[in-house]
Amino acid sequence: MYSDMNDAQPLAAQTEAMPAELRTVHQRLLDDGAQWRNDLPLAATRSTQVMPETGMVTERGTVERRERATVLAQPPAMPRRDVSWARPLVASAAIIVVVGLLAALFATFARGRGEVGLTSAIYDNTQTPTWPASTAGPAAKYIVSAKTARSVDSNRTPIDITSHFPVKSQVNLVVQVRNVTAGEQHTVSVRWFLNGIDTQVTGGEGRTSKLIKDNSNVQFGLVYPVAGVGMAKVYWDRPANDTSDSATDPSLAQTIYFAVEQPTPTPSV
């Protein structure tokens, strides 16, 4: 306080040393400055103190917004998909595939045992003769006859000759080969049909072809698992590239029809 009073004394001395006109101007400036300061709003007088603080708030707010934007820019955590429902579906599909393969193997095995792999269809066996009767073809000189029977003896003689067979029973076909020159080798072959459709049976002992060197009876056999009208075409030395179904095919020797029927149920007593 003494310092202020000491400073004020020189200032007052200087003021008194001024001319009267200058002291008047000086006093007026002091009074105008005080009035101007009193007329200012309170917010303006405090702005110099608030601005730094506001700037700090603004700076902090900017940082906070940037941090928030950084967090939002990251991909949201996706929930894991539940695929447990697909496991039973895959297992079922695998079972279906396995069953299909087993069915195919069974069908192949059945064909290997001489069965026809065709499905039943609408048919009319009223035209099938009661007694087997074959129709001769151009090569009938060497294959003179053909008979169907339920069984065959050791000499390949047909037993229980018939043209009607129950489903899933073997149709035995016996053909008589004659007029063969001694020492020659020939091929007797047969094609099996059901309801006019070639069963495409190939290979297998006693199913589709046999080599012969003399006059003899030749036996073939096939199991028909479904009902329908059966037919067998017997050929003499048929070429491998022969695809004709014509009745005038030079290799065709005999054609015979037979019926494959559902067993008649036994009436209950």
The answer, yes or no, to whether residue 117 has pLDDT greater than 80, is no
d(CA 201, CA 207): 8
Same domain, 253 and 173: yes
The answer to whether residue 268 is domain-embedded is no
CB neighbours (10 Å) of residue 93? 10
The answer to whether residue 53 is domain-embedded is yes
Same domain, 153 and 234: yes
Mean pLDDT over residues 97-122, rounded? Answer: 52
Which band of pLDDT confidence, cut at 50, 70 and 90, is reported for residue 195? Answer: very high
- What is the number of domains present in the chain? 2
Same domain, 59 and 155: no
pLDDT for 157 equals: 94
Same domain, 146 and 255: yes
Show which of 68, 101, 118 is a domain's final residue: 68
CB neighbours (10 Å) of residue 208? 17
Per-range mean pLDDT, top range of 4-18, 80-94, 150-164:
150-164
The answer to whether residue 93 is domain-embedded is no
Determine the residue type at 172: N
d(CA 16, CA 62): 57
DSSP character at residue 167: T
Same domain, 157 and 53: no
Mean pLDDT over residues 153-182, rounded? Answer: 94
pLDDT for 110 equals: 45
pLDDT for 112 equals: 45
The answer, yes or no, to whether residue 39 has pLDDT greater than 80, is no
Same domain, 22 and 138: no
CA 89 remoteness from chain centre: 13
Give the domain extent around 147. 134-242+249-261
Give tens-digit pLDDT for 238-266: 999 999 999 999 999 999 999 999 987 77
Look up tokens 């009267």; give the residue: 20
Show which of 24, 42, 68 is a domain's final residue: 68
Same domain, 162 and 60: no
Helix (H, G, I), strand (E, B) or coil at 8: helix
The answer to whether residue 55 is domain-embedded is yes
Phi, then psi, of 122 in degrees rounded to 5? -65, 130
95 vs 5, residue with greater confidence: 95
The answer, yes or no, to whether residue 201 has pLDDT greater than 50, is yes
d(CA 92, CA 85): 12
Give tens-digit pLDDT for 40-88: 555 444 444 444 444 444 444 444 455 444 444 455 556 565 556 566 6
Mean pLDDT over residues 188-196, rounded? Answer: 95
Largest CA distance in the chain: 171
Show which of 37, 68, 99 is a domain's final residue: 68
Question: Nearest 10 degrees: CA dihedral of 49, 55, 57, 63?
Answer: -160
Same domain, 64 and 179: no
The answer to whether residue 74 is domain-embedded is no
The answer to whether residue 266 is domain-embedded is no
Same domain, 51 and 139: no
The answer to whether residue 233 is domain-embedded is yes
Strand partners, 261: 166
Same domain, 150 and 227: yes
Same domain, 59 and 160: no
Which helix H or strand E contains 267, and what residues bound it?
none
Range with lowest mean pLDDT among 12-16, 146-150, 256-260: 12-16
Burial (CB count within 10 angstroms: exposed 0-12, middle 13-18, buried 19+), residue 234: buried
DSSP character at residue 255: E
The answer, yes or no, to whether residue 163 has pLDDT greater than 50, is yes
Q: Are strands 209-212 and 186-194 parallel, antiparallel or unpaired?
A: antiparallel
Q: Which of 95, 117, 97, 96 is nearest to 106 (CA)?
A: 117
Question: Nearest 10 degrees: CA dihedral of 150, 154, 155, 160?
Answer: -20
State both tokens at 89: 């579906």
The answer to whether residue 117 is domain-embedded is no
| Residue 203 CA: distances (Å) to CA of 99, 146, 207, 209 | 27, 20, 7, 7
Q: Which CATH number covers residue 212?
A: 2.60.40.2550
CA 70 remoteness from chain centre: 46
Same domain, 55 and 154: no
